[in-house]
C-alpha cells in the first residue's frame, strides 16, 4: 500500500521501490519532519480546516512516532519511499484515517524543502559553534607565542621574519570570514517554504505566516514555484563549507610539512598521532592528512549539488532527492574536521629555537638592508640593486648577512654605519613592520585584542 497508489493498476516492482527510496538516508530528517507536521497541524486547526479534536489526535500520534524513532522501535519501510511517507503511514496506523487529514493543503514538495531547511539551520548553528572554539584556540596560540619568531615564506622560500602569533592570527582571519559566511547563508535561507503546496500554492485558507513563525523562520518564502525547487541554500552552505575545508587543508599542509624532519618546526601531540606497522621510528600526522584528504569530499559534494541543479526545469523534480547525501556528508565532514583540528592545533608545540634559527637564514633581512639605504637617501630601486649585490657576495663567500663586517658593508655603499647590525636584528626587523596589519608586536597585539572583542558575546 502506498499513499499515492489510487491511480495505479499494478503494484510497483521491488526493484523500483529500492531505487526510488530515500529512506536509507533521509531518516536523518525525522525530527524536522515531525516538527514541520506539528506546526502544519496547528495551523490547520487555527484556520478551522481540521477540528481541534482531530488536531490533538494527530499531534499525539506524531509525538508517539517521535518516541518510537528515538527508542529505535520504528520500522522504516523501503516501500514507503521516504521519511515523510513512513511517518504518515505510521500515523494512520496509530490513529486511523484521521491521520490522513494531516496532509491537507500540503505536498511532499514543500514538506521536504521545509524539513531540509529546518535541519540545516540547526546544523549551521552547530558548525558555527565549533568554528568559534577554533577561533578561540587560535587567539590563545597567538597570545602564547608572542616571543616566537619564524621565517615567513613566499613561494615556500624564506621571505621575511614574522611572529608565530602573526601566523596564527592569519588563520583567525580566514576562519572569521568562514564564520561570517555561514551567518550570511543562515540569514538568506531563513524563509519558510511550507504551504507552497506541490508548486502553485493551495486552495485552502492557510496561514503561512503562522507556520513560519511556529517553526522559527523569519518569514514565509515569496514564490511557491521557486520555494519547492530552490536548493540554493544547500549550494551556499556546501560552498561555505568547501572554503572552510580549504582553510583547514592549508593549515594541515603546513603542520605536516613543518613537522617533517627537514623542517622540524613543530612537535605534534603523541595522543593525536599514529605509528607505522613496519617502521618503528614513525610518528605520523594522520589527523591533518585526513583533513587534507577529506577536503576532496566536500569539493566533490559542491560539484555534485551544482550538477544536480544544472538545467533542472521548474519546479520539483525527483533529481532533487539527490541533494541530501552530499549535504549530510558535508555537515558530518565539516563538523568532524573542525572539531579534531581545534584539539590538534591546541596541542601542537613550536620548536622555538629551530624556528628562530631559520628566521634569518635565506637572507630574510635583505629587504631591511635596502630600506636602511632608502632611509639614507638612496632611491629604493638602487638600494634593491646594492642589496642584491651584497646577497650575491654572501652566497659566493658562504656568509650570512649578519656575519659581514662593517668594512664589507661599506664596500657596497658608503651609507652603511655600525648601526646596520642593530637595524637588521630579527626583533627590530619585525617591530619596524608596524604598518596596520603588519607583524610588529604592537600590530599583532592589536589584532589579538580586536579578535577578543569579536569573540566576546554581545
Q: How far is the CB of 193 from ligand ARG (least distance, A)?
A: 12
> In this chain, which of 320, 366, 369, 451 binds ligand ARG, going by CB under 6 A?
320
Find residue 191's DSSP bridge partners: 219
Which stretch, 136-144, 171-179, 313-321, 439-447, contacts ligand ARG (CB under 6 A)?
313-321
109 binds ligand ARG per the rule CB under 6 A: yes
Residue (of 444, 457, 445, 256) closest to 341 by Cα position: 256
C-beta closer to ligand ARG: residue 22 or 54: 22
- C-alpha distances (whole Å) from 209 to each of 46, 212, 222, 224, 268 are 12, 5, 11, 14, 53
Q: How far is the CB of 321 from ligand ARG (least distance, A)?
A: 4
Residue 3 burial (C-beta neighbours within 10 Å; 0-12, 13-18, 19+) = middle
Q: How far is the CB of 327 from ligand ARG (least distance, A)?
A: 11
Find residue 161's DSSP bridge partners: 151
Which stretch, 94-102, 107-115, 417-425, 440-448, contacts ligand ARG (CB under 6 A)?
107-115
121 binds ligand ARG per the rule CB under 6 A: no
Q: How far is the CB of 83 from ligand ARG (least distance, A)?
A: 8
C-beta closer to ligand ARG: residue 112 or 444: 112
The residue count for binding ligand ARG (CB under 6 A) is 10
Per residue, the 3-state secondary structure of 115-154, as one string, reads HHHHHHHHHHHHHHHHHHHHHHHHHHHHHHCCCCEEEEEE
Give residues 23-52 in contact with ligand ARG (rule: CB under 6 A): 26
Per DSSP, the three-state class of 157 is: strand
Residue (of 66, 63, 44, 47) closest to 55 by Cα position: 44
C-beta closer to ligand ARG: residue 16 or 455: 16
> In this chain, which of 233, 316, 344, 416 binds ligand ARG, going by CB under 6 A?
316
C-beta closer to ligand ARG: residue 112 or 242: 112
Q: Locate cell 491511480: which residue? A: 7
166 binds ligand ARG per the rule CB under 6 A: no
Q: Is 252 a catalytic residue?
A: no
Q: Locate cell 615564506: which residue? A: 153
DSSP code, position 438: -
DSSP code, position 285: -
Q: How far apart are CA 174 and CA 79, in angstroms?
A: 46
Q: How many contiguous H segments (helices) and E segments (strands) does the chain have?
A: 19, 6
Which stretch, 279-287, 318-326, 359-367, 430-438, contacts ligand ARG (CB under 6 A)?
318-326
119 binds ligand ARG per the rule CB under 6 A: no
Per-residue binder mask for ligand ARG (CB under 6 A), 265-304, x = binder: ----------------------------------------
Which stretch, 167-175, 189-197, 201-209, 315-323, contacts ligand ARG (CB under 6 A)?
315-323
Measured between alpha carbons, how far apart are the two ends of the chain, in Å?
54
413 binds ligand ARG per the rule CB under 6 A: no
Q: Is 276 a catalytic residue?
A: yes
227 binds ligand ARG per the rule CB under 6 A: no
82 binds ligand ARG per the rule CB under 6 A: yes
- C-alpha distances (whole Å) from 51 to each of 40, 45, 94, 309, 422 are 13, 6, 18, 40, 86
22 binds ligand ARG per the rule CB under 6 A: yes
Q: How far is the CB of 23 from ligand ARG (least distance, A)?
A: 8
Q: How far apart are CA 400 and CA 391, in angstroms?
A: 8
Which stretch, 267-275, 314-322, 351-359, 409-417, contacts ligand ARG (CB under 6 A)?
314-322
- Within 310-351, where are the H helices? 324-347
Q: Locate cell 649578519: which residue? A: 402
Find residue 83's DSSP bridge partners: none
Residues sharing a CB contact under 8 Å with residue 242, sequence separation 6 or more, in sequence order: 295, 298, 299, 301, 302
112 binds ligand ARG per the rule CB under 6 A: yes
**Of 51, 187, 276, 405, which residue is the catalytic one?**
276
Binding residues for ligand ARG (CB under 6 A): 22, 26, 82, 108-109, 112, 316, 318, 320-321
> What are the catalytic residues?
155, 276
Amino acid at each position: 500500500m502506498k499513499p499515492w497508489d489510487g491511480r495505479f493498476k499494478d503494484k510497483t516492482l521491488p526493484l523500483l521501490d529500492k531505487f526510488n527510496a530515500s529512506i536509507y538516508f533521509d531518516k536523518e530528517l525525522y525530527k524536522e519532519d515531525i516538527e514541520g507536521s506539528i506546526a502544519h497541524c496547528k495551523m490547520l486547526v487555527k484556520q478551522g480546516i481540521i477540528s481541534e479534536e482531530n488536531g490533538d489526535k494527530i499531534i499525539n500520534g506524531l509525538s508517539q512516532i517521535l518516541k518510537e524513532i528515538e527508542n529505535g522501535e520504528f520500522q522504516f519501510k523501503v516501500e514507503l519511499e521516504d521519511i515523510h511517507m513512513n511517518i504518515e503511514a505510521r500515523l494512520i496506523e496509530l490513529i486511523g484515517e484521521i491521520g490522513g487529514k494531516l496532509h491537507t493543503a500540503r505536498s511532499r514538495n514543500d514538506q521536504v524543502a521545509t524539513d531540509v531547511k529546518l535541519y540545516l539551520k540547526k546544523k549551521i548553528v552547530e558548525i558555527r559553534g565549533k568554528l568559534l572554539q577554533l577561533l578561540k584556540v587560535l587567539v590563545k596560540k597567538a597570545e602564547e607565542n608572542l616571543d616566537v619568531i619564524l621565517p615567513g615564506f613566499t613561494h615556500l622560500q624564506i621571505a621575511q621574519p614574522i611572529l608565530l602569533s602573526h601566523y596564527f592570527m592569519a588563520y583567525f582571519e580566514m576562519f572569521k570570514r568562514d564564520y561570517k559566511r555561514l551567518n550570511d547563508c543562515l540569514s538568506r535561507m531563513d524563509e519558510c517554504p511550507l504551504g507552497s503546496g506541490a508548486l502553485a500554492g493551495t486552495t485552502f485558507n492557510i496561514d503561512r505566516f503562522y507556520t513560519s513563525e511556529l517553526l522559527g523562520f523569519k518569514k514565509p518564502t515569496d514564490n511557491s514555484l521557486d520555494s519547492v525547487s530552490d536548493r540554493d541554500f544547500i549550494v551556499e552552505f556546501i560552498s561555505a563549507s568547501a572554503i572552510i575545508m580549504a582553510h583547514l587543508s592549508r593549515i594541515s599542509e603546513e603542520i605536516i610539512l613543518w613537522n617533517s624532519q627537514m623542517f622540524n618546526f613543530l612537535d605534534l601531540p603523541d595522543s593525536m598521532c599514529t605509528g607505522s606497522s613496519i617502521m618503528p621510528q614513525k610518528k605520523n600526522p594522520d589527523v591533518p592528512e585526513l583533513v587534507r584528504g577529506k577536503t576532496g569530499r566536500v569539493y566533490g559534494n559542491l560539484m555534485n549539488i551544482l550538477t544536480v541543479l544544472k538545467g533542472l526545469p521548474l519546479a520539483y523534480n525527483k533529481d532533487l532527492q539527490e541533494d541530501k547525501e552530499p549535504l549530510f556528508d558535508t555537515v558530518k565532514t565539516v563538523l568532524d574536521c573542525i572539531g579534531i583540528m581545534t584539539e590538534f592545533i591546541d596541542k601542537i608545540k613550536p620548536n622555538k629555537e629551530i624556528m628562530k634559527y631559520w628566521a634569518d637564514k635565506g637572507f630574510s633581512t635583505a629587504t631591511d638592508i635596502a630600506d636602511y639605504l632608502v632611509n639614507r637617501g638612496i632611491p629604493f630601486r638602487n638600494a634593491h640593486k646594492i642589496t642584491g649585490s651584497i646577497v650575491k657576495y654572501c652566497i659566493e663567500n658562504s656568509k650570512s648577512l649578519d656575519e659581514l663586517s662593517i668594512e664589507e658593508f661599506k664596500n657596497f655603499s658608503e651609507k652603511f654605519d655600525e648601526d646596520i647590525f642593530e637595524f637588521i636584528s630579527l626583533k627590530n626587523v619585525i617591530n619596524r613592520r608596524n604598518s596596520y596589519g603588519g607583524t610588529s608586536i604592537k600590530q599583532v597585539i592589536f589584532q589579538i585584542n580586536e579578535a577578543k572583542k569579536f569573540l566576546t558575546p554581545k
